[in-house]
């Protein structure tokens, strides 16, 4: 489904003894990708964010909002910084980090994995600060509410990409995430409205999404139809059928069939008052908490349990799994169904999670972004979550920037920020930041003799 | 455990792969299943292992009939199998592969400590040196095979099926494997040993059953005469040698100097190879699979990326040229794996025959194809090579292996060549076709074309070659005359230099193969 | 048609019928003796197609019933007056489908009205029949208008499918083509004929480059074209949205996110009178179909495309540049889809809007599949799908059944056709085959996972696969099964 990494002709490995690992002096051919990429980003930050920022304009960063837990006012409310200066400083620090990575890569010196990741994270934070200083110049960045928006937008993406992880780890390509989200959103509102209970709506969402999952499994596993085609067609089907019922049944009697309702916010006392991150982490509806739980459970389950080992073996080498008595197609079926149920929860976020009624094609491509998040997250639940957060952050920024008072801000067209996830994914699948290892049997039907 | 197969029949479409096969394997014996490629040995074992459902017949374990709906059932009944194509999950560790399907757990989580212990225990028993945490895809094939054996033994297999286990091993590794088989037998395990190599059968088997065209055609014990076994296996008298006139080598046509190839990961896979091939001679390249032969042929063809050194073909440098340019320079190439590297399965016989020639007259102009000329060429080639196909428009994937190989050969030899390279020219081909293909290769040599033959089958190398180069770990260990002592070649394949190998042989070193030669059992 | 999508990992089987694919020959061989006449008919592709439509429309009928307020009202007293329910149901379904026919093929009412009108004015003979028939077939002409870009785009899709690549990027390539043609159309002023040709060339080049970009990413980095084309779709969508906020594209009226109309010289001329929108693009569609035939079965380039699609490794060994082929395929596919976008703008839309591509990009995938990626099949399938949507649009306004029903029916048709065993199962011919029944197939053949430069696997490998492959009778050996 993405960059295939199998090496066609495995190099000559003299069979008498294991091939000696490549000596440290022989670098991977792609060793320069990461430092070069970061350098380009840092330079862009310097040239665009730093030097093109309007002179003399400042950017305020709102850290602690009134009412936050802020004993004795330790944290400042708003921090006002010069836009250009902040961006330049951050960009230069970014360049330094890139330089450090160049050094280690070029001299083939081992840099601990943790240190590397830490450096990249710091780079990311600095870069974003530079960007914010520029983009919001002359205005205020309310970090708390920005992150809050991000979280709301990230939840459907995260659930969707977890659906992808579940089914693709077992070797079934899941392009139908969009349809699963849509069915989940539709089912949540429909059942919620009919029964008057938002909780029943919450239960209905995954069940509804199971329909798409079951169809995907039936055609992809049962009838071995090309999986990409099934996915694309199922998305068309899902959009068609939900729009059809939206246009008929729901429109005829919205109060009965399409009532906006919202899951209650569960606020954890004290913790939710922590500045910036409090509301984001501890004042959310159940779906957000469920997302954290599912990511954690899935990570453990995939990599630490018997079930996970079997699922991965089915996705990597189904025949080998079969020869040790694992029922390949049953595993695939159950994973696709499980995945679609998870995506259904993501769909529920779109309606009962945010308190809006169902609308035609309301998933609006989120399924495809979720797919991208799954790939960028390298088929790992945590990676998928991080990628979903990143994409949601871009979306949240776009929304925030759209509401800036005229005359402030850098005037970035919202469309560019909307494009961002797709461009990032394009770079990711092109292997600019390391190759994505796809489950070897992803997309291949398994046929027993 | 005693295994008995009664009247096993397996039909695919109209093709009877197993026709009422009977087989009895006594506890604690090594029972060899001998047969040509395509005789139905693997099918039979896949039936036994529950991978295929038989269309008739019965499986009995210790005289009790059993039915397997899948490999899980067979494993539970005590049958283990080491597949020809390893059934290992490449990115998993050794321990994970060994426990897959019967994983120990602790508190709901995988208990990898126990898994590692299992691997270590079984390794210790057989003297394997395996790290339980090594990633399988990073292990050499010999070690992967041991993982397969541990996998079977960790499930307490009482019947172990080994499907062509020696194809990827050096003679030394083969000897080690045989020692393991004997040790297992002595511990009471029944072993079914599938192979087409007579020498190995005679070295290790307690009993032999010969299968041809899906039927049992006879059984023998290891003392049986080798030629007798061979003719039983093939179904007629076989000439184990090839009649050919002595070579009349001309001037040097191909000159390879310091050829070095590194792969994507920066590992040197071909290391400073020097070669000369003259017109009208066959240079055989011997060696265990994976010692750089593939890289050598691919470098000659312009299929490798990081190539240093020089290749002069008729005085012209071809390093750095594209594959297309190399082919245009008159190089004919038969790749080692016809289905993977040579044939386009959906294409017709005719289309496959012009795959590398479709741009050039008479088969095409730059823009469009000349269908009529392509058709004519196909008919001619089918006639000349006796390709059994319904029509030249049939998809090539509907043909048998031997006929497919003839098409690959016909394509490579279908024009005047400046160099002919054939890699594994007869792998997976029936004996009748082998003779035909070998004669074609010699005919090409006699036309004055320089020929390179790469093969892991020592028999093939010694039959065809006028000179033999032995490759080991990416280098050429030495080039010896075509009639060099088999023992010397065997030792060179294991990494001895020519001098060291000759010295060792002179001092009495023997491989299993040649012990049999000494006993006068191999012609 | 069945084997096309069901049979192998490739999107579409080779188009011509005289190339037996191994699954087909094997299946036939296995069942020849047991096959009854009934089963043999059931196995036929035509029947599967027909049944697929029947089932799709049946499910569509159920949707109409569920959605119809009258039917639900009548169902409320089902047991009191069952006939009411059935009458309401019958009316709803026939009403909807009759409207669909009237909206897509022949408008009897319009025909009669014109005829009577002309006759009442004393006309007779061809003076009456000519205009009346033209009026009657107005929906069909509209169907052909809608079919035009769809057919061209599907032909682009077919090029990639038959070359083993999954181009999901129809939307993006269409937008880029439309933007290029549109921009040249309204921003430049050129003499007649030349202007329209330049616009079309711009569409072809832009679409080709956009498609070629995905091909390049595949060739150079091994990035799956499925993912890159999906991403490029959205990039194009937002790119267009952005462009329509700039003055370069919106002209004077910056508040309105639409472009000015293309110049008069850039418009494709109408060919069925000014009353109908049918334009010269239809001819371009026919030419594109001929081009597809030539490219895939007569040209050397198509030969290479197909070879790489079926077994990239073997193609590489035979001296074909696999990376260049991937770029070429995606360029050709993108160029054709871009052409479709250009034709759409120059013939029908005349101005750029944010939603100019509509669903053509995705519909083209289904049409190409339905048409088995062959020229004739695509033309027919394109007209069929276009008819469904024009009919659906009429049905929506006339019977207030939403157009989305058509989308559902189209999706169902493709699903059913992709899984013939399901169709046979539904009509009770279960014995013919079961899901998951053993079937030899090209393992990994041109699987989308296989990156072009990494010919990881590709063989419908009789000898290397562990599955025993039956041989055709008369061959001397069997493959390496032992």
Query: If you average pLDDT over residues B185-195, what whole number do you get?
Result: 90
CA distances from residue B168 to A108, B44, B142, B173, B294 in whole angstroms, order as listed: 35, 22, 7, 9, 14
Residue A171 has a pLDDT of 94
CB-nearest to C476 from B342, B346, B402 is B402
Check residue C31 and give its pLDDT.
40
Whether pLDDT at C425 is above 80: yes
What pLDDT, in 10s, does the model give residues A252-286? 888 888 888 888 888 888 888 787 777 888 888 89
Nearest to C103 by CA among C138, C63, C77: C138
Between A237, A415, A440, which is nearest C411 by CB? A237
Mean pLDDT of the C461-473 span: 34
Confidence category of residue B237, pLDDT binned at 50, 70, 90? low
Q: Does the beta-carbon distance from A13 to B141 stay under 8 Å?
A: yes
In this complex, do B303 and C18 lie within 8 Å of one another by their Cβ atoms?
A: no
pLDDT for the residue numbered A432: 60
Q: Is A165 found in the same domain as A134?
A: no
Q: C475: nearest CA in chain B?
A: B388
SS3 C3: helix
CA dist A252 and A297 (Å) reads 42
Q: How many beta-carbon pairs under 8 angstroms link B with C? A: 215
Contacts with A325 from chain B: Cβ below 8 Å: 70-73, 75-76, 101-102
With CB atoms and an 8 Å threshold, state whether A18 touches B140: yes
Cβ neighbors of B200 (< 8 A, separation 6 or more) are B166, B174, B178, B193, B512
Last-in-domain residue among A340, A373, A389: A389
Nearest CA in chain C to A433: C221
Interface test with A, best of B45, B81, B94, B101 (most A CBs within 10 A): B101
CA–CA separation, A369 and A236 (whole Å): 17
Closest partner residue to C441 (CB to CB) among A228, A375, A447 is: A447
Number of CB atoms found within 10 A of residue B221's CB: 10
Q: Looking at the predicted structure, is the pLDDT value of residue A174 above 90? A: yes
Binned at pLDDT 50, 70 and 90, residue C465 comes out as: very low
Specify the pTM.
0.84
CB contact under 8 A, A418 and C436: no
The alpha carbon of residue B504 is apart from the nearest alpha carbon of chain A, in Å, by 19
Q: Identify whether residues A227 and A126 lie together within a single domain.
A: no
In terms of residue numbers, what domain contains A273? 143-389
- Rounded-to-integer distance, Cα B345 and Cα B111, Å: 45
* The pLDDT value given to residue B446: 92
Percent of chain C with pLDDT over 70: 80
Identify the closest residue of chain B to A317 by CA–CA distance. B89
Residues 6+ apart with CB under 8 A from C105: C137, C139, C140, C143, C387, C391
Q: Which of A133, A143, A139 is nearest to A51 (CA)?
A: A133
Bridge partners of B471, per DSSP, are B476
Please tell me what DSSP assigns to residue A45: I
Nearest neighbour of A219 by CB, restricted to C10, C419, C455: C419
Q: Give domain status of residue A320, yes or no.
A: yes
Tell me the percentage of chain C whose pLDDT exceeds 90: 39
- Under the banding of pLDDT at 50, 70 and 90, the label for residue A237 is very high
CA distances from C138 to C94, C281, C295 (A): 22, 17, 34
Higher pLDDT, residue C13 or B495: B495
pLDDT at residue A10, rounded to an integer = 33
Asked if residue A127 is part of any domain, the answer here is: yes
Cβ–Cβ < 8 Å for C249, A443: no
Of A166-170, C7-11, C149-153, C315-319, the one with minimum mean pLDDT is C7-11
Q: Which of B95, B371, C445 is nearest to A224 (CA)?
A: C445
Q: Give the model's pLDDT for residue B96.
A: 94
Is the domain of A277 the same as that of A317? yes
Residues A97 and A242 placed together within one structural domain of the fold = no
Half-sphere exposure of B468 (CA within 13 A, CB side): 27
> Within this chain, do residues A132 and A183 fall inside the same structural domain, yes or no?
no
Question: Could you give phi then psi for residue B394, rounded to 5 degrees?
Answer: -70, 145
* Whole-number pLDDT of residue A176: 94
The count of structural domains within chain A is: 2
Between CA A358 and CA A362, with CA A360 as vertex, the angle to 5 degrees is 70
C474 pLDDT higher than 70 = no
How confident is residue C454, by pLDDT bands cut at 50, 70 and 90? very low
Q: What is the pLDDT of residue A242?
A: 94
pLDDT beyond 60 at C477: no
Going by pLDDT thresholds of 50, 70 and 90, the confidence category of residue B454 is very high
Q: Strands of A78-82's sheet, edge to edge?
A: A78-82, A58-62, A140-142
Say whether both A49 and A167 belong to one domain: no
The C-alpha atoms of residue C317 and residue A17 are separated, in whole angstroms, by 30
Which residues of chain B does C482 touch, with a Cβ-Cβ cutoff of 8 Å?
35-43, 194, 196, 211
| Shared domain check, A120 and A153 | no
DSSP state of C260: P
- Between A85 and C23, name the one with better pLDDT: A85
Last residue of a domain, one of A114, A138, A162: A138
Mean pLDDT over B264-284 rounds to: 89
What are the pLDDT digits (tens) for B115-173?
Answer: 999 999 999 988 888 899 999 988 877 788 889 989 988 888 899 999 888 876 766 77
CB contact under 8 A, A236 and C228: no
Establish if B367 touches chain A: CB-CB under 8 angstroms: no
Tell whether the model's pLDDT for residue C413 goes beyond 70. yes
pLDDT of the residue at A73: 67
Q: What angle do CA C462, C465, C471 make, to 5 degrees?
A: 25
Nearest CA-CA partner of B430 in B465, B392, B386? B386
The distance of C419 to chain A (nearest Cα, Å) reads 6
Looking at mean pLDDT, say which of A309-313, B233-237, C46-50, C368-372 comes out highest.
A309-313
Structure confidence at residue C482 as a pLDDT band (50, 70, 90): very low
B contacts of A300 (beta carbons < 8 Å): 109
Give the domain-ending residue among A389, A421, A441: A389
Are residues C236 and C172 in contact, defined by beta-carbon separation less than 8 angstroms? yes
Residue A64 located in a structural domain: yes
Q: What does the pLDDT read at residue C345?
A: 94
> Are A366 and A238 found together in one domain?
yes
pLDDT band of B470, cuts 50, 70, 90: very high
The residue among C315, C317, C447, C466 with the most chain B CBs within 10 A of its CB, best to mutate, is C317
Lowest-confidence pick of A320-329, A386-395, C464-473: C464-473
Task: Encode pLDDT of C173-213 as tens digits.
Answer: 999 999 999 999 999 889 989 999 999 999 999 999 999 99
Q: How many percent of chain B have pLDDT more than 70?
A: 94
pLDDT, position A105: 78
Give burial (CB, 10 Å; 0-12/13-18/19+) of A112: exposed
In a mutagenesis test of the A interface, which of C408, C416, C466 is the best target, namely the one with the most A β-carbons within 10 Å?
A: C408
Q: Are residues A240 and A282 in the same domain?
A: yes
pLDDT digits (tens, 9 = 90+) for C352-411: 998 888 889 888 998 998 888 889 999 999 999 999 999 999 988 888 888 899 999 999
Q: Do both A235 and A357 map to the same domain?
A: yes
Chain C positions touching A33 (Cβ under 8 A) are none
ipTM over 0.85: no
Domain ranges across chain C: 149-400
How many Å lie between the alpha carbon of A389 and the closest alpha carbon of chain B?
28
Token readout for C466 is 């562990």
Lowest mean pLDDT segment, chosen from A171-175, A320-324, B34-38, C282-286: B34-38
Mean residue pLDDT across chain B: 86
Q: Are residue A233 and residue A111 in the same domain, yes or no? A: no
Task: Calculate Rg over the CA atoms of chain B.
Answer: 24
User: Residue A343's pLDDT band (boundaries 50, 70, 90)?
Assistant: very high
Query: Closest approach of chain A CAs to the CA of C271, in angstroms?
Result: 33
Look at residue A164 and tell me if it is in a domain: yes
Contact A57/B at CB under 8 A: no
Alpha carbons B51 and B63: distance in angstroms, whole number = 21
Put simply, the answer to whether A312 touches B92 (Cβ < 8 Å) is yes
CB interface of A with B, residues 304-333, below 8 Å: 304-306, 308-310, 312-313, 316-317, 319-327
Q: Does C43 score more than 90 pLDDT?
A: no
Is pLDDT above 70 for A356? yes
Q: Which residue has the higher pLDDT, C391 or A428?
A: C391
- CB B288 to CB A15 under 8 A? yes
**For residue A287, what pLDDT is reported?**
93
Beta bridge partners of B216: B211
List, for residues B64-105, the tens digit of each pLDDT value. 999 988 888 888 899 998 888 889 999 999 999 999 988 998
In this model, does residue A15 exceed pLDDT 90? no
Lowest mean pLDDT among A126-135, B47-56, B239-248, B447-456: B239-248
How far apart CA C375 and CA C288 sit, in angstroms, is: 8
Report how far Cα A395 is from the mean position of its chain's Cα atoms.
12
| pLDDT on residue B159 | 92
Task: Check if A440 contacts B (Cβ < 8 Å).
Answer: yes
Q: Which residues pair with C140 in a beta bridge?
A: none
| Cα distance between residue A410 and residue A413, in whole Å | 9
Whether B210 shows a pLDDT value over 80: the answer reads yes
Contacts of C21 in chain B (CB under 8 A): 346, 395, 397
Pairwise pLDDT comparison (B12 vs B446), residue with the higher score: B446
Strand spans (E) along A237-347: 265-267, 283-285
Res B291 pLDDT > 80: yes
């Amino acid at each position: 489904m993405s960059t295939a990494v199998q090496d066609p002709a495995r190099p000559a490995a003299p069979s008498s003894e294991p091939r000696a690992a490549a000596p440290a002096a022989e670098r991977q051919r792609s060793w320069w990708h990461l430092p070069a990429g970061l350098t380009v980003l840092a330079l862009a930050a310097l040239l665009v964010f730093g030097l093109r920022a309007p002179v003399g304009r400042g950017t305020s960063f709102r850290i602690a909002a009134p009412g936050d837990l802020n004993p004795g006012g330790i944290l400042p409310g708003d921090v006002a910084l010069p836009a250009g200066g902040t961006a330049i400083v951050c960009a230069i620090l970014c360049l330094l980090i890139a330089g450090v990575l160049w050094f280690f890569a070029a001299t083939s010196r081992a840099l601990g994995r943790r240190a590397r990741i830490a450096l990249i994270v710091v780079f990311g934070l600095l870069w974003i600060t530079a960007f914010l200083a520029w983009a919001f110049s002359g205005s205020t960045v309310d970090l708390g509410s920005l992150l809050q928006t991000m979280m709301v937008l990230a939840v459907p993406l995260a659930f969707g990409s977890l659906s992808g992880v579940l089914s693709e780890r077992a070797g079934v390509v899941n392009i139908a995430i969009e349809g699963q989200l849509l069915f989940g959103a539709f089912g949540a509102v429909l059942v919620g409205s009919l029964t008057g209970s938002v909780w029943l709506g919450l239960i209905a969402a995954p069940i509804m999404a199971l329909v798409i999952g079951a169809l995907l499994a039936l055609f992809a596993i049962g009838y071995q139809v090309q999986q990409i085609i099934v996915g694309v067609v199922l998305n068309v089907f899902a959009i068609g059928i939900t729009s059809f019922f939206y246009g008929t049944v729901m429109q005829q009697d919205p109060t009965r069939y399409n009532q906006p309702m919202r899951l209650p916010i569960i606020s954890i006392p004290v913790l939710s008052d922590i500045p910036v991150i409090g509301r984001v982490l501890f004042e959310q509806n159940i779906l957000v908490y469920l997302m954290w739980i599912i990511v954690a459970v899935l990570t453990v389950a995939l990599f630490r349990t018997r079930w996970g080992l079997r699922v991965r073996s089915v996705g990597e080498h189904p025949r080998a799994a079969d020869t040790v008595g694992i029922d390949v197609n049953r595993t695939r079926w159950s994973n696709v169904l499980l995945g679609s149920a998870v995506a259904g929860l993501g769909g529920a976020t779109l309606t009962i999670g945010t308190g809006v009624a169902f609308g035609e094609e309301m998933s609006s491509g989120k399924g495809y972004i979720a797919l991208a998040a799954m790939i960028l997250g390298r088929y790992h639940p945590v990676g998928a979550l991080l990628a979903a957060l990143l994409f949601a952050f871009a979306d949240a920024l776009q929304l925030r920037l759209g509401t800036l008072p005229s005359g402030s801000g850098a005037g970035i067209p919202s469309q560019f920020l909307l494009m961002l996830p797709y461009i990032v994914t394009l770079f990711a699948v092109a292997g600019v930041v390391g190759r994505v290892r796809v489950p070897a049997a992803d997309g291949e039907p398994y046929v027993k003799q | 455990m005693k295994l008995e197969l009664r009247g096993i029949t397996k039909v695919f479409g109209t093709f009877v792969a197993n026709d009422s096969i009977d087989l009895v394997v006594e506890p604690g014996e090594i029972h060899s299943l001998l047969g040509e490629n395509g005789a139905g040995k693997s099918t039979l074992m896949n039936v036994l292992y529950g991978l295929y459902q038989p269309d008739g017949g019965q499986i009995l374990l210790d005289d009790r009939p059993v039915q397997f709906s899948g490999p899980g059932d067979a494993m539970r009944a005590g049958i283990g199998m080491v597949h020809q194509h390893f059934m290992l999950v490449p990115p998993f560790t050794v321990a994970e592969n060994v426990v897959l399907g019967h994983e120990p757990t602790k508190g709901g989580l995988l208990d990898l400590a126990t898994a590692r212990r299992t691997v270590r225990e079984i390794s210790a028993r057989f003297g394997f040196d395996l790290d339980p945490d090594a990633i399988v895809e990073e292990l050499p094939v010999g070690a992967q095979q041991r993982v397969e054996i541990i996998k079977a033994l960790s499930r307490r297999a009482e019947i172990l099926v080994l499907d062509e286990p020696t194809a990827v091993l050096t003679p030394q590794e083969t000897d080690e494997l045989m020692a393991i088989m004997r040790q297992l037998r002595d511990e009471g395990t029944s072993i079914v040993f599938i192979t087409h190599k007579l020498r190995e059968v005679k070295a290790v088997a307690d009993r032999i059953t010969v299968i041809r065209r899906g039927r049992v055609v006879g059984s023998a014990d290891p003392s049986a005469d080798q030629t007798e076994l061979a003719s039983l296996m093939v179904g007629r008298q076989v000439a184990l040698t090839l009649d050919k006139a002595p070579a009349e080598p001309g001037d040097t046509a191909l000159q390879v100097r310091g050829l070095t190839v590194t792969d994507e990961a920066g590992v040197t896979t071909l290391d400073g190879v020097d070669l000369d091939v003259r017109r009208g001679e066959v240079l055989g390249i011997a060696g265990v699979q994976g010692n750089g032969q593939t890289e050598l042929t691919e470098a000659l063809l312009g299929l490798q990326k990081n190539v240093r050194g020089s290749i002069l073909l008729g005085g012209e440098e071809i390093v750095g040229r594209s594959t297309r340019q190399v082919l245009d320079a008159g190089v004919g190439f038969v790749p080692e794996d016809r289905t993977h590297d040579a044939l386009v399965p959906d294409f017709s016989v005719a289309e496959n025959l012009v795959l590398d020639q479709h741009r050039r007259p008479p088969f095409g102009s730059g823009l469009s194809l000349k269908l009529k000329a392509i058709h004519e060429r196909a008919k001619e080639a089918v006639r000349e090579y006796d390709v059994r196909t319904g029509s030249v428009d049939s998809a090539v994937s509907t043909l048998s292996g031997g006929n497919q190989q003839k098409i690959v050969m016909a394509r490579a030899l279908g024009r005047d060549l400046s160099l002919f390279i054939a890699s594994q020219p007869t792998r997976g081909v029936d004996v009748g076709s082998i003779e035909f293909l070998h004669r074609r290769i010699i005919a090409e040599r006699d036309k004055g074309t320089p020929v390179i033959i790469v093969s892991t089958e020592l028999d093939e190398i010694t039959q065809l070659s006028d000179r033999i180069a032995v490759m080991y770990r990416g280098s050429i260990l030495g080039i010896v005359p075509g009639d060099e002592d088999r023992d010397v070649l065997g030792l060179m394949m294991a990494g001895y230099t020519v001098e060291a190998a000759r010295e060792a042989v002179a001092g009495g070193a023997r491989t299993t193969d040649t012990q049999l030669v000494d006993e006068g059992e191999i012609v | 048609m069945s084997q096309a999508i069901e049979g192998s990992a490739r999107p579409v089987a080779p188009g011509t019928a005289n190339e037996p694919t191994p699954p087909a020959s094997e299946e036939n061989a296995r069942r020849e003796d047991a096959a009854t006449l009934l089963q043999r008919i059931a196995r036929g592709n035509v029947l599967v197609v027909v049944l697929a439509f029947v089932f799709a429309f049946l499910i569509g009928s159920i949707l109409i019933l569920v959605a119809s307020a009258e039917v639900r009202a009548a169902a409320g007293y089902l047991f009191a007056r069952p006939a009411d329910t059935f009458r309401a149901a019958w009316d709803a379904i026939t009403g909807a489908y009759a409207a669909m026919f009237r909206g897509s093929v022949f408008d009897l009412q319009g025909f009669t009205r014109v005829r009577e009108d002309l006759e009442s004015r004393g006309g007779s003979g061809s003076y009456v029949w000519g205009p009346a028939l033209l009026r009657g077939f107005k929906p069909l002409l509209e169907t052909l208008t809608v079919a035009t870009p769809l057919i061209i785009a599907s032909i682009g899709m077919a090029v990639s499918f038959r070359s083993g690549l999954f181009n999901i990027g129809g939307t993006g390539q269409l937008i880029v083509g439309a933007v290029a043609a549109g921009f040249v159309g309204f921003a430049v002023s050129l003499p007649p004929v030349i202007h329209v040709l330049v616009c079309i060339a711009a569409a072809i080049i832009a679409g080709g480059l956009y498609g070629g970009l995905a091909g390049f990413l595949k060739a150079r980095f091994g990035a799956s074209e499925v993912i890159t084309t999906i991403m490029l779709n959205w990039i194009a969508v937002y790119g267009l949205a952005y462009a329509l906020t700039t003055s370069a594209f919106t002209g004077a009226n910056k508040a309105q996110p639409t472009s000015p109309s293309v110049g008069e010289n850039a418009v494709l001329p109408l060919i069925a009178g000014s009353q109908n929108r049918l334009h010269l693009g239809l001819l371009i569609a026919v030419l594109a179909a001929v081009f597809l035939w030539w490219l895939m079965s007569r040209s050397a380039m198509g030969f290479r495309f197909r070879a790489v699609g079926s077994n990239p490794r073997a193609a590489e060994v035979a001296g074909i540049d696999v990376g260049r082929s991937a770029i070429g395929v995606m360029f050709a596919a993108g160029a054709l889809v871009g052409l479709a976008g250009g034709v759409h703008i120059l013939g029908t839309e005349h101005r750029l809007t944010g939603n100019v591509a509509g669903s053509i990009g995705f519909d083209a995938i289904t049409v190409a599949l339905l048409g088995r990626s062959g020229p004739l099949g695509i033309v027919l399938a394109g007209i069929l799908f276009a008819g469904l949507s024009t009919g659906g649009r009429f049905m929506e306004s006339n019977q207030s059944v939403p157009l989305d029903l058509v989308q559902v029916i189209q999706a169902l048709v493709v699903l059913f056709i992709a899984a013939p065993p399901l169709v046979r199962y539904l009509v009770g011919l279960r014995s013919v085959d079961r899901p998951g029944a053993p079937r030899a197939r090209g393992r990994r053949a041109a699987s989308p996972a296989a990156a072009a430069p990494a010919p990881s696997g590709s063989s419908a490998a009789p000898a290397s696969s562990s599955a025993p492959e039956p041989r055709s009778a008369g061959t001397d050996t069997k493959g390496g099964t032992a």
